[in-house]
């Protein structure tokens, strides 16, 4: 028996729900190869138009690196070295793997929906086996749009093959939870592993 009535498919955001991250880790390492301080680097291109293009698949790894290199005037950091730094910012949210295992026992399907770029996701796929437990993974760089665009939620609902009201979604960003609710999805702001466990699992 499911704890959330009438829910068939459970969908989790990836970043800071399943896999935690800190872009400042990368910014501090990149700062060694340019004249910018870590905070400046963070503010210049994390959550910028440039990374939005990257996360929505509008530019590829080579184009993104070239833009960053030009923007920061990088010296002594090649593309492989940059992406090693770029990707080394993640860790698994403690306890989330056990929650996902239980979710898969209690509900029909488990999905992941993420605003993410290709190098980040490929690294996460290799390093964190828990993401491979998902029945479907909807990725912004493959869909071509970022949450909160309705298209990404529509894609998820279509793949779920059920009514929006039969889908549960959690995300750490309130505005993305609101967007899901506007699509008819049952959604909750993620505020910790224990709270989501109590919401979803008997």
| Confidence grade of residue 44 (pLDDT, cut at 50, 70, 90) | confident
How far is residue 150's CA from residue 155's CA, in Å, rounded to a whole number? 9
How far is residue 36's CA from residue 21's CA, in Å, rounded to a whole number? 22
| Confidence grade of residue 47 (pLDDT, cut at 50, 70, 90) | confident
The third-level CATH classification (topology) of the domain covering 23-87 is DNA polymerase; domain 1 (1.10.150)
pTM of the entire predicted model? 0.95
| Confidence grade of residue 2 (pLDDT, cut at 50, 70, 90) | low
- Kindly report, as residue ranges, where domains of CATH 3.40.50.1000 are found in the chain: 9-20+92-200
Whole-number average pLDDT of the chain? 95
Long-range contacts of 48-53 (CB under 8 A, 24+ apart): 51/117, 52/146
- Kindly report, as residue ranges, where domains of CATH 1.10.150 are found in the chain: 23-87
Beta bridge partners of 10: 110, 168
Domain 9-20+92-200 has CATH 3.30.200.20: no
pLDDT tens digit sequence for 185-195: 999 999 999 99
pLDDT tens digit sequence for 140-168: 999 999 999 999 999 999 999 999 999 99
- pLDDT of residue 96 exceeding 50, the answer is yes
């Amino acid at each position: 028996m499911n704890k959330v009535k009438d829910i068939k498919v459970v969908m989790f955001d990836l970043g800071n729900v399943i896999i935690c991250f800190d872009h400042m880790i990368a910014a501090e390492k990149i700062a060694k190869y340019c004249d910018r301080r870590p905070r400046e680097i963070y503010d210049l291109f994390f959550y910028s138009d440039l990374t939005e293009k990257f996360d929505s698949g509008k530019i590829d790894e080579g184009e993104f690196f070239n833009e960053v290199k030009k923007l920061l005037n990088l010296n002594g950091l090649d593309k492989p070295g940059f992406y090693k730094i770029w990707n080394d910012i993640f860790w698994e949210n403690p306890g989330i793997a056990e929650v996902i295992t239980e979710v898969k026992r209690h509900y029909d399907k488990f999905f992941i929906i993420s605003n993410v770029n290709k190098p980040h996701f490929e690294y996460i796929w290799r390093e964190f086996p828990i993401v491979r437990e998902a029945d479907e993974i909807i990725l912004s760089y493959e869909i071509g749009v970022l949450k909160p665009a309705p298209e990404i939620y529509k894609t998820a609902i279509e793949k779920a093959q059920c009514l929006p009201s039969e889908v549960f979604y959690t995300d750490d960003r309130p505005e993305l939870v609101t967007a899901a609710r506007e699509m008819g999805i049952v959604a909750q702001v993620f505020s910790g592993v224990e709270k989501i466990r109590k919401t979803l699992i008997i």
